[in-house]
Amino acid sequence: MTTYTIDQLAQMIDHTNLKPYASAEDMKQLCDEAKDYHFKMVAINQVQSKRCQEYLAGSDIGIGAAISFPLGQTTIDAKVFETKNAIECGATEIDYVINITEVKGKNWAYLKEEMQQIVDICREKGVISKVIFENAYLEEEEKIELCKIAKEVEPDFIKTSTGFAPSGATFEDVKLMKEHVGDKVKVKAAGGIRDAETFKKMIACGAERIGSSSGMAIINALKEEAVDGKIMI
């Protein structure tokens, strides 16, 4: 088991509002909450990147833009453009959705090229890259094959889900992904993580980042159970 401070756990949370109808006021609230709780970053739709950059100016909170979200059904060129544009608008992290059609067609060369191009852009710009698998639609062997590609390309993270599919992160998927990427790539769990117990179990299974819109409730619950401000997981 590992001992964490509350701030270390807060720094594992991507504070999320990906609602298509989120207003400017909603984004301001999201950013203020992220600063209050010292979350790692705000996870937003790409179009909100510039607005959140303004709201978070002077803080150390990251801006995470979702690319080709939530379906992943755009061309590599479109994803590359969207990634570059997000970075120009202030994004410091990129979470892009893979092309699931190409997974089902076992077009692994395409998926490696897609991943490589986006990761290269992020690496060049000093931006964190995350690859969303959307595991709800994938068979185990497909998840494993994507992990093999990620192990070669080395994005910063691979991620379980968008939160918009029929199901989100599972403990089994986090374990599987971590097993097959090892220490080269980190795992982000997202989708349906709403309470402190689930949060802790995801970390115990190998997740090093958690995407959630319930981050405040999670941290508040962890503060209540902490001993001398620390939690063992």
- Residues annotated as catalytic (active site), given as ranges: 95, 159, 188
Give the pair of three-digit tokens for residue 159. Answer: 């991620």
Of 66, 155, 149, the residue nearest 111 (C-alpha): 149
Q: In whole angstroms, what separates CA 191 from the centre of its chain? A: 10
Of 67, 122, 76, 116, the residue nearest 96 (C-alpha): 67
Residue 196: C-alpha distances to residues 7, 13, 200, 215, 233 (Å) = 14, 12, 6, 9, 11
How far apart CA 135 and CA 228 sit, in angstroms, is 38
φ/ψ of 155, rounded to 5, equals: -65, 165
Q: In whole angstroms, what separates CA 91 from the centre of its chain? A: 13
